[in-house]
Amino acid sequence: MGYAEIEEISEDETLLKEEVHRFAEEVIRPASIEIDRMPLNEYPEKVVKKDSPYWRVLKEWKKLGYHRGPVPEMFGGEGLPARMVHILVEEVAWGSSGFSIAFGVDLFPILFTAPTFDEYLNETFVKPWLEDDRAKYHGCWGVTEPEHGSDWLLGCDFVLEDDRPERERITPGQVTAKKDGDEWIINGAKSSWISSAPVATHVALHVNLDLAKRSVGGGCVVPLDSPGVTKGKPIAKYGQKDCPQGELAFEDVRIPGVYMTLEPEALHPSTGLMSMDQILCVTSSWMAASSTGLARAAFEEALKYSKERIQGGRPICEHQLVRKKLFEMFVKVETARAYSRRIMEHVWRELFEKFTFKASYRHALAAQVYCKRIAYEVADDALQIFGGYGITDDFLIQKLYRDARVKLIEDGTVEVLSLEGAGDLIRNY
């Protein structure tokens, strides 16, 4: 392994790190490169095929039971402590930033259902999902819509009474859910950006419960084989191709009432964790850890190359400016790890240990923004160290650079996340 922890980490943590790193190196990274090299015109067909590298990795992930790791014990998972979840995400993202996102969104249907402790949901969905060892179930998270990307972050929540009048509510939400007896009927379309949607079996879906009241959000789980659901093809894109994105459209899709797990009226301690702010605390800590893994991968590639490439009669790592750059990259990776780990420990403690559901929104957003920027800066410097060869297919660094660029947009652009963080600062600091 290329780096040593300065924090004291336990034997269990070391073991997990070594195991996941091996998995990332031997299984995830080769598959991710294979997907990245698919010609763009063939990619949408190829990546979703049942024998594609994507499915190969996902099946292995579930067979090894890693998907249970981050799920708290009270929800039926393994309840890894936050630091171990951080280690898991960083190592996976070292192998592939895209797969770290795919494994993250995979958890969403469980996050939407397990906290209800509903017996029927537990037996029919939560338990089978957690016990799955063949990738029979695969989740995704449907938030953004063709007309609402950033708007969703800036304007959506699950509270009926708006206790934050200064926060402008601008999101009517195009995907609606209407009650019909014991069922809900869903209509509308989510954007082409739903990670893993083209390969998922279930979506944790944000819906608009009442257009007249504007952004009154609800959340439900929808099986994607329900009549009326259409899955779009993966979009051909520039980076993070190893996590395919596609549209989800719903036409009079009926779900049982119990699948609507997040209604404003239902806000109580267990589902309260699902306020949009708290969901974004979880995703922010995940994204920050994932960005750290990606930054480290780019740094390690550059360090290795700088020892091999000879210019001016010696390895470029012996030239002062390259040395300085390498050290600055190292500092960035270390600070990203320290910060993202601290945030994940905070979020996990508040949500899954103390059940306060009051993780600090601004701190979580700060970590996400900071670590995404670090990943991009480090990947940019790393590419520069490779010179011209860096932009050829022969080296991994150009993929890492493209993946890092994508990170500045997914899960909210860094600008809009900063606006959200500033709003929290101004209101509550």
Ligand X SMILES: Cc1cc2nc3c(=O)[nH]c(=O)nc-3n(C[C@H](O)[C@H](O)[C@H](O)COP(=O)(O)OP(=O)(O)OC[C@H]3O[C@@H](n4cnc5c(N)ncnc54)[C@H](O)[C@@H]3O)c2cc1C
The pair of structure tokens assigned to 351 is 């949500």
- Which of residues 132 and 411 has its CB atom nearest to ligand X in the complex? 411
Work out how close the CB of 102 gets to ligand X at its nearest, in angstroms, rounded to a whole number.
Answer: 9
Residue nearest to ligand X (CB): 149
Mark 142-161 with x for binding to ligand X (rule: CB under 6 A) and - for no binding. Answer: xxx----xx--xx-------
- Distance CA(147)–CA(156), nearest Å, equals 14
Write phi, then psi, for 230 (nearest 5 degrees). Answer: -120, 130
Q: How far is the CB of 146 from ligand X (least distance, A)?
A: 8
d(CA 262, CA 249): 20
Among 105, 215, 227, smallest CA distance to 152 is for: 215
| Least distance to ligand X, CB of residue 240, Å | 5
- Output the smallest distance, CB 118 to ligand X, in A: 25
Using alpha carbons, list the distances in angstroms from residue 187 to 112, 171, 255. 20, 16, 11
The smaller minimum CB distance to ligand X, of residues 46 and 167, is found at 167
* Contact yes or no for 100/290 (Cβ under 8 A): yes
Output the six-digit token pair for 57: 């990795």
- CB-based contacts of 37-43 (< 8 A; 24+ apart in sequence): 37/393, 38/241, 40/236, 41/236, 43/234, 43/236, 43/241
CB of residue 268 to ligand X, shortest distance in Å: 25
User: Residue 146 or 256: which CB sits closer to ligand X?
Assistant: 146
**Looking only at residues 2 through 31 of this chain, which bind ligand X when binding is defined by CB under 6 A?**
none
| Site pattern 347..386 for ligand X (x: CB under 6 A) | ----------------------------------------
CA distances from 45 to 50, 56, 123 (A): 11, 16, 34
Residues 166-205 that bind ligand X (CB under 6 A): 193-195
DSSP secondary structure letter of residue 127: H
Least gap, CB of 122 to ligand X (angstroms): 25
Q: With respect to ligand X, which residue has the nearer C-beta, 66 or 141?
A: 141
| Measured distance CA(253)–CA(226) in Å, rounded | 7
Q: How far is the CB of 7 from ligand X (least distance, A)?
A: 31
Q: How far is the CB of 171 from ligand X (least distance, A)?
A: 11
In this complex, which beta carbon is closest to ligand X, that of residue 13 or of residue 242?
A: 242
**Structure tokens given for 91:** 């190592």
CB nearer ligand X, residue 61 or residue 193: 193
Cα separation of 188 and 226, whole Å? 14
245 binds ligand X (CB under 6 A): yes
CA torsion through residues 118, 121, 127, 129, sign = negative
Secondary structure of 303-366 as H, E, C letters: HHHHHHCEECCEEHHHCHHHHHHHHHHHHHHHHHHHHHHHHHHHHHHHHHHCCCCCCCHHHHHH
Binding range to ligand X, per CB under 6 A, among 137-145, 270-278, 282-290, 317-325: 137-145
Nearest residue (CB) to ligand X, 175 versus 329: 175
Binding pattern to ligand X, positions 392-421, x when CB under 6 A? --------------x--xxxxx-xx--x--
Query: What is the rounded CA–CA span in Å between residue 67 and residue 133?
Result: 9
Stretch that binds ligand X, among 76-84, 136-144, 266-274, 369-377 (CB under 6 A): 136-144
Size of the site for ligand X (CB under 6 A): 23
287/367 with CB nearer ligand X: 287
Residue 105 is a binding residue for ligand X (CB under 6 A): yes
- In the block, tokens 């210019």 appear at 311
Q: Which is nearer to ligand X, 258 or 371 (CB)?
A: 371
Does 54 bind ligand X (CB under 6 A)? Our answer is no
> Measured from the CB atom, is 278 or 306 closer to ligand X?
278
Q: Which residues lie near ligand X (CB under 6 A)? A: 105, 141-144, 149-150, 153-154, 193-195, 240, 245, 406, 409-413, 415-416, 419
